Amino acid sequence: MNEKDMVNDYLSALNASLTGYANYIAHSDNEQLYQALIQIRNQDEARQRKLYNYAVQKGYYQPAVPANPNVVQQLKGQLSSQ
């Protein structure tokens, strides 16, 4: 396995774990567990961002094309009115 594959595999795993944390946090009834999960999620988010930036810099990951600013404004308006 080459570096590109390892980076992309780890990035995918981090993304999946972040999704899991959101679910666990939302359903946690114990305050200590809730806070611990938030802390772990925050650490993984920082790790994910650092790895994402590395992957983009190395050309291992191609980010999506930026969204049209008009579409972004339209969605913001729709979401803020709900």
- For residue 5, what pLDDT is reported? 94
d(CA 66, CA 3): 26
The HSE-up count of residue 78 (CA atoms within 13 Å, CB side) is 6
pTM > 0.85: no
Q: Which domain holds residue 66?
A: 3-80
**Mean pLDDT, 10 residues at a time, over the chain (82 residues)?**
93 93 94 96 96 95 89 90 74
Cα–Cα nearest to 26, from 16, 15, 38, 14 = 38
- For residue 81, what pLDDT is reported? 80
Question: 18 and 44 in contact (C-beta within 8 Å)?
Answer: yes
Q: pLDDT > 90: what percent of the chain? A: 79
- For residue 1, what pLDDT is reported? 83
Query: How many domains, the chain?
Result: 1
